[in-house]
Amino acid sequence: MRRSICQCEPNYALAGQVSTWKFSYTTSTSLPKGTRLKFDLLSKGSAIDWQTPEVNVKEKVNVVWAELPGSKTITATYSQDDVTLSDCFEFLLTSDVKAGETISIFLGTPDKNKENGNRCQTYVQRRKPFHLYIDTKGKGDFRDPEIFTMDIRGNHLHVIKIVAPSLVGKNKRFDVVVRFEDEFGNLTSLAPEGTLIELSYENLRENLTWKLFVPETGFINLPNLYFNEVGLYKIQLLNAKTGEKFYSSPIRCFADQDVGIYWGLFHGESEKFDSGENVEACLRYFRDEKALNFFASSNFESAEETSNDEWKLISQHIAEFNEEHRFTTFLGVQWFGDTPEEGLKQLVFTKDNRPILRKKDAKSNNLKKIYKSYSSKELFAICSFTMGKGLHTNFDDFTPEFEKLVEIYNAWGSSECKAKEGNPRPICIDGDTGVEETDVGSVRKALEKNCRFGFVAGGLDDRGVFNDFFESDQVQYSPGLTAILATDHTREALVQALANRSCYATTGERIVVGFAIAGAKMGSELSTKVKPGLTFNRYITGYVSGTAPIKEISIIRNGTVFHTFQPKVASFDFAIDDSENLSKVCFPAKEEKPPFVYYYLRVIQEDGHIAWGSPIWIDYFVTDATNTAKKVRKKTG
């Protein structure tokens, strides 16, 4: 039995390559005049997808057309698939095509200038499909498609990235992964012949230099590295062919290091892969390409957004991908309440295979019912996008047992404070449509109410309440990252660290941040009852190792800047005393709780990237030591 033949010329493409692509279909049966063809790119027109061509061939730049036997040209009409919403092009045969003859569809330009051609997708894919539907009756009754396939490979070597831990101990061994990427972030081995990469440590151990070739896989694992001196390191890679230098994010080496920094996302979506339709590819993307240490699903709870079948598949893959010391996964769901008291929450389970919490269900139609159904060891909540007007949270029903984290930043802006109060990345619009800020949901206002939570950052999201943001005038920033300081890379250790608020947020760069008061680290709660000396002096220490020179480091005390450093260098350690009497600066007592003060750290690099360290709280009690000090001062005065 004869079969139709589908061929692509060329049979592979480089990611982002501009060219003229030919799809030849040799039919096994005769096609009469009036037959309709529908060519589906399986592309939705996003910036990373296959470029949508124009149908007007007179333009001669990025156009689509077809040729029948005898080189007769026919033009296309644009359509969109009703189910997948992908870009399609329909052709109407103007003459018969006999069995064994070939119809060719072109994407690109009829000219010889390839720069006027059509751009392929910017991400790699094995056997990228294109569908050709044929209706011999010409009524649009398209059945099973004929399928063309083309491999999309990594483009020319553009950048070399080093994936390394942020904190290490002296003489403690660790692994490093080197990724050779094209300009779109795809792994590639396409480098000039003889390219040699020299690896060394910046500033220290210059005697150690390794020479690496670009491997076929596009990445290489370097095991058992270690530093034998305490200090700040950056791994340097020199392309001996071009002279280009590439550096890792900063690595701080301590004499005794009992915690590590683990980077990841609880709230975020991949630009390449839909986390509902293709959760496995999404997880691989964040684990392998983005080199995250942890990730949580964050689909919205409604059946329209996440069907029961999709939730089952998500739950299955979240459980399968969880791997100690490599990649920690969490099952999470976004839940949007009807009132500002509830707001937008990311509900994260600490165990696998939990039922989705739908707002339409009587058992989960409000947060109080949800919190009664679970213990704080089984579920935690993240207050998200709290300053987005109409989506905001007012923190009036704050539940500290579950709500130990707040998303101070995501790709749609920061909820730290209002723009006029110094927010460098406010929630705002550049036009008429979108969501603006409201100070009702300000993180600083929540802290003033004595809400105690750690800071995390979210990534990009175009689902649920964020669905219309791309088409509106909403200002978009870089996707954020969350850093967790934990004793081990396991789900249990990360959950325990989050319960202690041992975490911080960045706008996407792996900035290393340390912050402490009287030796107590980020997320700690101190008391003058235990440490009376804090009434008179707070010894504040910290360090920042940035990925770029640091513009400013601000210590925020009770919503205002207590002190600012302006290092102008990439790494800076600091120590400062706050000797103002605590009784004069703390917020007053409320609801039988003592007066208190909070401090947190905000870092701004010269490249605009930001980090927010989780707060440290000090509760103020009048103690015998305090009264004695007051009497002594009064007597001597």
Going from the N-terminus, what domains does the chain have, and what CATH number goes with each?
5-153 (2.60.40), 159-257 (2.60.40.1930), 268-508 (3.20.20.140), 515-636 (2.60.40.10)
How many other CB atoms sit within 10 Å of the CB of residue 545?
23
Beta bridge partners of 364: none
Beta bridge partners of 38: 90, 133
**Residue 208: what pLDDT?**
63
**Residue 257: what pLDDT?**
86
As a whole number of angstroms, the distance between CA 633 and CA 154 comes to 73
The residue length of the chain stands at 637
Instruction: Name which of 88, 109, 114 is nearest 17 in CA terms.
Output: 114
Reported as type and span, the H/E element at residue 281 is helix 279-284
**Residue 112: what pLDDT?**
83
**Residue 541: what pLDDT?**
98
CA angle 517, 518, 523 (to 5 degrees): 40
Under-70 pLDDT residues of the chain:
1-2, 202-208, 623-637
Reported as type and span, the H/E element at residue 254 is strand 251-254
Q: Where are the beta strands (DSSP E) in 361-506?
A: 379-384, 405-410, 413-414, 454-457, 481-486, 503-506
Residue 192's contacts (CB-CB under 8 Å, 6 or more residues apart) are 241
**Residue 635: what pLDDT?**
42
Contact predicate 236/254, CB 8 Å: no
**Residue 628: what pLDDT?**
52
**Residue 272: what pLDDT?**
83
The token pair that represents 543 in the structure block? 């360090």
Sign of the Cα torsion 463, 464, 470, 475 reads negative
The 3-class SS string of 96-114 reads CECCCCEEEEEEECCCCCH
Reported as type and span, the H/E element at residue 221 is strand 219-225
